[in-house]
Amino acid sequence: MGDGTREINQETAKKVLAHVDEQEITEFLQGLVRIPSVNPPGDVRAGMKYCADKLAAEGFTIDYITEEEEKPNLLASKSDGDGPTLLFNAHIDVVPTGDESNWSHPPFGAELVNGRVYGRGAGDDKASVTAQVMAAVALARSGVPIKGKLIVNEVADEEVGGVLGAQLCANDPNVQPDFVIVGEQTLNRVCLGEKGGAGCNVTVYGRAAHGALPWEGVNAIDGMGKVIVALQNELQPILAERTHPLFKPSSMTVSMISGGVKANVVPDQCSIYVDRRIVPGETPEAVRKEIEDVAIRAIAGIEGMRVEVELGPMGGREAHHCEPGDPLPKAMLEANEFLGFNAEPTGFSMGTDGRHFVANGYPAIVYGPGDPALAHQPDEWVGVDEVVDATKAYALAAVSLLTDE
């Protein structure tokens, strides 16, 4: 299985691309953006049915993997003969709108202005969902015979970790893809993999006392101040030097803080969350230990104070990437080349649902329309041209991985 790709055949490509229709793609995307699927609570049923209906009409077999009723995960498949399984994955759930007065286009209006569709999820991730669905539709309508199986896997739950979404699908023994293309905003660049994450909870413990008698206590917030400064001065510069050709450098962000119990009490506890994003070569446990070492040194000599550093609830994950010559990225890179798009491989510096597939041993790359810098913002938008381009590229990648032509 997956014995490689061949040069994209001009005639076959023409047959498939003839069924990529800008008007239909735009309308499908607008329709999907107009179906709110905000997470939390993450009810994606209506959006999922919208995609399923489109694919069912083209002869795809519709299945769902569902653990929580409001969070079904679609598996729309088409298969013929022996051959590899290619799985398209993207997510239907979207983050909340935030204060709607910061939007100049209604977040679920899907207004089309100057070639851009505006709305929550327009880019993240309904542009990718649209391109994947419409690529599958184009392939089906072209009548080009496939050898193997194409699965369109649109999922719930991505914005809160994917446990009830992509992870369920990736763990299912009936879903065993040879190739996974995860749709997220890469500006239609081919991302060979993604950074890892190793977020840590750091807690400084002191001793409570009356706020008027501070010498009787040990102030945990003061201690945490030293820890944060030490992380900035000692660790940050090291991370900036820890680079990898595919990714942005290793990084840390102190993203949350809490401490103290009352205005007139010396705090006995203060916690921060350090959002650590890691490059190949770093491991979650080594990253945890590195933070711990800095933190312990920062408060050394303060009697009655100690610090604990634990990996966050997900436990962390290493970065992953495949090689540009592997069949999956090769097919995607050739599609971009064929279409005259950027065919220089790169990496994705944010987390995606791809990690759940990689954890099960399935190769995954990331590719999709939209700019990650616009995700989760007010007035999120995507260019219709980008969505059309992605539709073409997904379709051609499927052609080279799943057909003999």
Question: Looking at beta carbons only, is 154 or 334 nearer to Zn ion?
Answer: 154
Question: Looking at beta carbons only, is 94 or 402 nearer to Zn ion?
Answer: 94
| Minimum CB distance to Zn ion, residue 388 (Å) | 20
Question: Looking at beta carbons only, is 94 or 230 nearer to Zn ion?
Answer: 94
| Minimum CB distance to Zn ion, residue 375 (Å) | 6
Residue number, nearest CB to Zn ion: 125
**Which stretches within 34-94 are classed as H helix?**
45-56
Q: Which two tokens stand for residue 243?
A: 């680079």
Q: Out of 43, 125, 154, 178, name the contact with Zn ion by CB under 5 A.
A: 125
| Gyration radius (Cα) of the chain, Å | 24
**Which stretches within 78-158 are classed as H helix?**
126-142
Hey, how many other C-beta atoms are within 10 angstroms of the C-beta on 82? 9
What gap in Å lies between CA 322 and CA 189, rounded to an integer?
A: 15
268 is a contact residue toward Zn ion (CB under 5 A): no
| Minimum CB distance to Zn ion, residue 181 (Å) | 14
Cβ neighbours of residue 96 closer than 8 Å, sequence gap 6 or more = 38, 39, 40, 120
What gap in Å lies between CA 108 and CA 208, rounded to an integer?
A: 49
Question: Looking at beta carbons only, is 154 or 282 nearer to Zn ion?
Answer: 154
| Minimum CB distance to Zn ion, residue 371 (Å) | 12
Q: Among residue numbers 163 through 202, which ones bind Zn ion (CB under 5 A)?
A: 184
Binding mask 9-48 for Zn ion (x = CB under 5 A): ----------------------------------------
Is residue 256 helix, strand or coil?
A: strand
Question: Looking at beta carbons only, is 185 or 400 nearer to Zn ion?
Answer: 185
| Minimum CB distance to Zn ion, residue 284 (Å) | 22
User: Binding segment for Zn ion among 92-100, 123-131, 273-281, 330-338 (CB under 5 A)?
Assistant: 123-131
Q: Is the dihedral of CA 387, 389, 393, 396 positive or negative?
A: positive
What gap in Å lies between CA 135 and CA 387, rounded to an integer?
A: 10
Q: Which two tokens stand for residue 101?
A: 């007065």
| Minimum CB distance to Zn ion, residue 323 (Å) | 25
**How many residues sit close enough to Zn ion to count as binding (CB under 5 A)?**
3
| Minimum CB distance to Zn ion, residue 154 (Å) | 12
Question: Looking at beta carbons only, is 169 or 298 nearer to Zn ion?
Answer: 169
124 is a contact residue toward Zn ion (CB under 5 A): yes
Cβ neighbours of residue 289 closer than 8 Å, sequence gap 6 or more = none
CA distances from 324 to 191, 359, 400 (A): 9, 20, 15
Question: Looking at beta carbons only, is 142 or 186 nearer to Zn ion?
Answer: 186
Question: Which position has the token pair 């505006």?
Answer: 118
CA atoms within 13 A on the CB side of 116: 15
| Minimum CB distance to Zn ion, residue 93 (Å) | 9
353 is a contact residue toward Zn ion (CB under 5 A): no
Pairing relation of β-strands 265-266 and 346-348? unpaired
Q: How long is the chain?
A: 405
Question: Looking at beta carbons only, is 132 or 403 nearer to Zn ion?
Answer: 132
Q: What is the contact surface with Zn ion in residues (CB under 5 A)?
A: 124-125, 184
